[in-house]
Each structure stands twice: as C-alpha cells, then as structure tokens.
C-alpha cells in the first residue's frame, strides 16, 4: 500500500514546462528533485514543441522507472500545447460539422499523437455548454450551445480517445459554459438552481459517466444555490462529493482544474486549497504553486485526523484502476500521420458555415485582419493561402487589440481608397485574457465604414459582428491550418471564375 506520504504524493501533479526542463539546468534539477524525493504521482505537461514533450516524457519516465502518469490539455490536438503535430479544428467546429463519426475519428487521431509523445491522459473533452455568447474562456472550446449536441459529441470524443488507450477527462464540472468570468482570473458563479443544472449543465457529464469516462475535472466555479458558502466546485464537498459522486454515481478519478489559477489563489493559500480539494472529493490535484507544500499540508491533515484513512484508500484504489486501464490499452492500434492530416481537413471542410457570395470588387481589395495577440501567426498563414487564390493584388493590414490614432487614420484612408473590403477575424478564448471579443480600438475601426464589407471570414469566436452587413460570411470556428485551407477551398469552388489564369 505504501506510507501515507507516498499515497498522497500519487495525487500530486505539478506543472512541468518541457522546454525549460531540457534547457535550464536549475529548473531541470528542481523537477528531478520532486521525482527523487517522492513528491509527485505525475505531471501536467506544458511549453515547448512536440519533440520537447516527447524527450521530456522519455527522460521523466526513465528517471521514475515508468511509474508516473503524464497528462496534458490536448482538446483539439497536441498542437494546443506542443507545436509539431496535426492541427485539428476546435470542438465547436466539430459540433458545427455535427457528424459523430468525424468527432470520434478526430479524437482517435489526437490520442494516437499523444501516445507518440508518451502522454496518456488528455484533459478533454470540454463538456461545457456554451450558452453565454460573452463567455470569455469557453467559447469555441465547447462543442456548442445545446445539451443534446454537446452530450453526443462529448461521448463520441471520449470513446475515440479511450479506444486508443488515452484516458479522457470531461470538464469543467458542473459546467463553465454560462459564466461571464474567466476562472484563470477570478471566481465565476453559476446563478442557477438544481433543476436548471440537471436540464442543461449536467447532461453531458451524466452521459459521460454512463459511457465510462475515466476522469472528470472539477471546475473553479461556484454554484451558490447548491453550496451557499460560495466555494468553487473544486473545493466543495457539496458539488463534488455529493453531486458528482453520489447523485451522478461517479466513482472514477476526479481531478481539480489548475490550482494555480487566480480563482483559487485569490482566496486560499496553497495548503488550504490542497486540503479542501482533497476533502471535496478530488483524487488528483494539479498544477499547484508549491507541490512540496501541498504534500506537507495533506500529511498534516491526515495526522490530525482531518483526512481519514478510508478517504485516502478510496483515492488509492481509483488511481490504481486508472493505471491498470492505461496498461491494458498499451497495444491499441494507431493511425498514420497521412490519415490524420486527411481527417483534420475533412473535419474542417464539414464545419464551414457560409452565407452569401464573394463579389469581386473590380478594383483594389483591402484585407483587414483582427487578432487578439501580437504573436498569432494565423493571419499571415491565411493571407498566404488567400493570395495564392485571389487573382489580383490586395493590400493587407492586421491589427491587434491596441490601435493608435495614427494607425486608425492610415487604415481608414486605405479603406476609403479600396474597391472592396474583406474582414478576417482571428479571435479565440485565451486564459487570463478576460475577454473573447474585439477591443474598443478594433471596434472603432468598424464604425461608419465607408464600404460595405465584401466578405467576412471568421476563424474564431462565432458571436462576433453577427449584425454587420456583408456580402459573404464564412464561420470556420477554428484557425487551425486545415480550417484556413478549407476556407480557400470553399472560395475556389464557389468562385472558380476568380481563379488566377497562370501561364
């Protein structure tokens, strides 16, 4: 069975940044020290490319003699964390395609690439229902905005990855889809009663439980109607132990959302949050600020009788079952890189939603892109695809959230001198951003446009600019490379008369 300290350590999954682990001697020594001292049961991997993740996993397991579990957030593929694999469309894109066989095959492909890295636990699928268009963190990460669609695709996804030997994790229980705050920054709240939760938020989780999901992630979201203390589900025995364990009948692994998020760190110390999370019914605590402090706090709580031996035994049994299940799937088949690329492109094609037609302006076209971050490479990638199709020259500008008065004046002058205007949106949910909308500066550019937009191509948040008049609107729900390519394919098929005639 092991000592109490060893049993608690198996529940501790700190953050592991792969690139620094391989390049920074001090950081690598600290991580290796956690393993050597028996502080952890696994890691959640971040940072670096696919090769970094693969090599990190290899070294970690060599050091730990294969005893650790490695997890990562790979909702739409390993590229969500580690560039170098197949880019798949977002979950909302899969929901828009609404073909369960496509979702299942995409999930299988994601699992195959995770196994290649040595990561056998995927913190996905997102089981939240995005019923709030202003939700700053879920948005296109959810399959959609209705319980039926979301629960069907959650099951297809979890079956796909688990059939390939990677444990799934339905998140963020009891639901993060109808919140207006980002739990990375502050504590959100669901202002609903039990009846509404059972009708909407809980349905995908209940179906995931019925279909054998291997883990569920508790959210940093409060539900005051059920737990008047205002504690988030991750720290609430009422929401996790009573609602999830007893009322939904779930006896698999429950893992907290990251304990270094501000929804937790703003209100609780590392030690307090760790003990409360364990007592709430979580088996795995992830990405806490100080894993050694977490382990000591748990040991002290057991010594004082606050955490019972019976409670520790339950988690020990659940973790043992998870490890046994993963080992039993070690010989699951795998797809090829070529087939995965085709699956991703087919999913992107099916997810496109287009209304209207592209009208060649017969004069210079001005392409105005909106992005939410300076380091987003997707606008440039899409403009390269577009220029390979569009027969004439087009002037291009990309604006981030801050646009100076000088830049605004220059862009407006270009719009006034153009024959047509194409808008391209690259805005998606990002942790700690606090919004998934356009900034005031970006919106200012769109006020009193001198031209009706020739087209609007949206590669992110589908709720943006829904009231703007445009000749053509395409929603791809994703800025994955296949989604960008699929948009150009659509334009080429629909408007073959504009294809360049090359000598």
DSSP 46: E
Q: What is the pLDDT of residues 122-146, one digit of tens each?
A: 999 999 999 999 999 999 999 999 9
Domains in the chain (CATH in brackets) are: 4-328 (3.20.20.300), 352-498 (3.40.50)
φ/ψ of residue 502, rounded to 5: -95, 140
> Which position has the higher pLDDT, 2 or 379?
379
Burial readout 453-486 (b: 16 or more C-beta within 10 A, e: otherwise): bbbbbbbbbbbbbeeeebbbbbbbbbbbbbbbbb
Please compute the mean of the pLDDT values over residues 252-257 and round it to a whole number: 98
Give the span between the Cα atoms of 214 and 321, in whole angstroms: 9
- Dihedral angle over CA of 468, 469, 473, 475, nearest 10: 20
Counts of helices then strands in the chain (DSSP H, E):
18, 15
Please compute the mean of the pLDDT values over residues 232-254 and round it to a whole number: 98
Beta strand pairing call for 12-13 and 15-17:
unpaired
Q: Exposed, middle or buried: residue 151 (CB in 10 Å: 0-12, 13-18, 19+)?
A: buried
DSSP 2: -
Phi-psi region of 38 (alpha: psi -120 to 50; beta: other; left: phi over 0): left
pLDDT for the residue numbered 393: 86
Q: What is the pLDDT of residues 172-183, one digit of tens each?
A: 999 999 999 999
pLDDT above 70 covers a percentage of the chain that reads: 99
**Residue position matching structure tokens 């099951």:** 155
pLDDT for the residue numbered 494: 81
**Annotated active-site positions, please?**
184, 257
- In order, the DSSP letters of 279-300 are HHT-SBEES-S-HHHHHHHHHH
pLDDT for the residue numbered 499: 63
Which residues, other chains included, contact 244 with Cβ-Cβ below 8 Å and sequence gap of 6+?
173, 174, 205, 216, 218, 250, 254, 281
pLDDT at 120 over 70: yes
pLDDT for the residue numbered 448: 87
Question: Both tokens of residue 361?
Answer: 């302006």
Which residues, other chains included, contact 364 with Cβ-Cβ below 8 Å and sequence gap of 6+?
392, 393, 394, 395, 417, 418, 419, 420
Lowest average pLDDT, out of 97-101, 122-126, 147-151, 407-411, goes to: 407-411
Angle value at C-alpha 197, between 351 and 252, nearest 5 degrees: 80
pLDDT for the residue numbered 6: 97
pLDDT for the residue numbered 503: 37
Q: What is the pLDDT of residues 12-38, one digit of tens each?
A: 999 999 999 999 999 999 999 999 999
Which residues, other chains included, contact 23 with Cβ-Cβ below 8 Å and sequence gap of 6+?
none
423 forms beta bridges with 368, 456
Give the span between the Cα atoms of 169 and 67, in whole angstroms: 20
φ/ψ of residue 173, rounded to 5: -65, 140
Please compute the mean of the pLDDT values over residues 187-202 and round it to a whole number: 96
φ/ψ of residue 480, rounded to 5: -65, 155
Question: Both tokens of residue 418?
Answer: 């153009």
Please compute the mean of the pLDDT values over residues 335-352 and round it to a whole number: 97
Question: Both tokens of residue 184?
Answer: 């990375």
pLDDT for the residue numbered 500: 58
Which residues, other chains included, contact 361 with Cβ-Cβ below 8 Å and sequence gap of 6+?
418, 419, 420, 454
- pLDDT grade, residue 502 (50/70/90)? very low
Give the span between the Cα atoms of 191 and 361, in whole angstroms: 49
Nearest to 159 by CA among 323, 348, 315, 329: 329
Nearest to 461 by CA among 448, 442, 485, 488: 442
**Residue position matching structure tokens 């402090």:** 293
216 forms beta bridges with 170, 254
Q: Is the peptide bond between 125 and the residue preceding it cis, with omega within 30 degrees of 0?
A: yes
pLDDT for the residue numbered 280: 98
Question: Which 3 state secondary structure label does DSSP give 423?
Answer: strand
Which residues, other chains included, contact 71 with Cβ-Cβ below 8 Å and sequence gap of 6+?
13, 42, 43, 44, 45, 119, 120, 121, 122, 123, 169, 286
**Mean pLDDT of all residues belonging to the chain:** 96
Beta strand pairing call for 455-458 and 472-475:
parallel
pTM equals 0.96
- pLDDT grade, residue 360 (50/70/90)? confident
pLDDT for the residue numbered 117: 98
Give the span between the Cα atoms of 232 and 349, in whole angstroms: 39
pLDDT for the residue numbered 1: 65
Beta strand pairing call for 455-458 and 420-426:
parallel
């Amino acid at each position: 069975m092991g000592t109490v300290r060893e049993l608690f350590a198996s529940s501790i999954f700190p953050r592991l940044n792969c690139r620094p682990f391989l390049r920074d001697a001090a950081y690598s020594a600290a991580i290796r020290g956690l393993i050597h001292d028996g502080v952890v049961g696994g890691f959640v991997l971040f940072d670096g490319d696919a090769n970094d993740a693969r090599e990190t996993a290899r070294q970690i397991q060599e050091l730990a003699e294969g005893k650790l579990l490695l997890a990562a957030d790979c909702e739409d593929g390993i590229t969500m964390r580690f560039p170098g694999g197949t880019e798949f469309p977002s979950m909302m894109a899969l929901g828009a395609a609404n073909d369960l066989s496509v979702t299942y095959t995409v999930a299988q492909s994601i699992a195959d690439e995770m196994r290649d890295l040595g990561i056998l636990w995927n913190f996905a699928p997102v089981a939240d229902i995005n019923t709030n268009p202003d939700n700053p963190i879920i948005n296109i990460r959810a399959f959609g905005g209705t319980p039926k669609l979301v629960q069907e695709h959650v099951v297809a996804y979890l079956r796909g990855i688990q059939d390939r030997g990677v444990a799934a994790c339905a998140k963020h229980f009891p639901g993060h889809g109808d919140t207006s705050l980002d739990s990375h920054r502050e504590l959100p709240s669901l202002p609903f009663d039990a009846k509404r939760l059972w009708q909407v938020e809980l349905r995908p989780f209940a179906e995931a439980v019925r279909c054998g999901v291997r883990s569920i992630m508790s959210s940093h979201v409060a539900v005051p109607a059920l737990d008047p203390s205002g504690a988030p589900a991750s720290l609430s025995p009422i929401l996790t132990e009573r609602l999830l364990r007893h009322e939904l009948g779930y006896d698999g692994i429950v893992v907290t959302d990251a304990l270094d998020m501000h929804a937790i760190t703003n209100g609780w110390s590392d030690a307090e949050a760790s003990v409360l999370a364990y007592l709430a019914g979580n088996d795995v605590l992830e990405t806490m600020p100080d894993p050694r402090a977490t382990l000591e706090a748990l040991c002290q709580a057991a010594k004082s009788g606050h955490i019972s031996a019976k409670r520790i035994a339950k988690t020990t049994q659940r973790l043992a079952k998870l490890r046994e299940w993963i080992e039993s799937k070690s010989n699951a088949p795998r797809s090829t890189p070529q087939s995965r690329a085709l699956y991703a492109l087919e999913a992107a094609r099916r997810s496109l939603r287009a209304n209207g037609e592209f009208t060649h302006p017969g004069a210079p076209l001005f392409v105005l892109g909106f992005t939410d971050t300076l380091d987003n490479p997707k606008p440039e990638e899409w403009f390269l695809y577009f220029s390979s199709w569009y027969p004439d020259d087009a002037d291009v500008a990309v604006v981030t959230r801050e646009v100076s008065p000088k830049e605004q004046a220059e862009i407006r002058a270009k719009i006034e001198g153009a024959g047509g205007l194409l808008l391209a949106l690259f805005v998606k949910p990002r942790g700690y951003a606090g919004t998934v909308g356009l900034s005031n500066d970006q919106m200012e550019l769109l006020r009193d446009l001198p031209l009706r937009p020739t087209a609007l191509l949206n590669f992110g948040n589908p709720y943006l600019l829904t009231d703007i008049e445009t000749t053509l609107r395409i929603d791809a729900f994703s800025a994955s490379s296949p989604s960008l390519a699929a948009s150009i394919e659509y334009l080429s098929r629909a408007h073959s008369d504009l294809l360049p005639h090359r000598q």
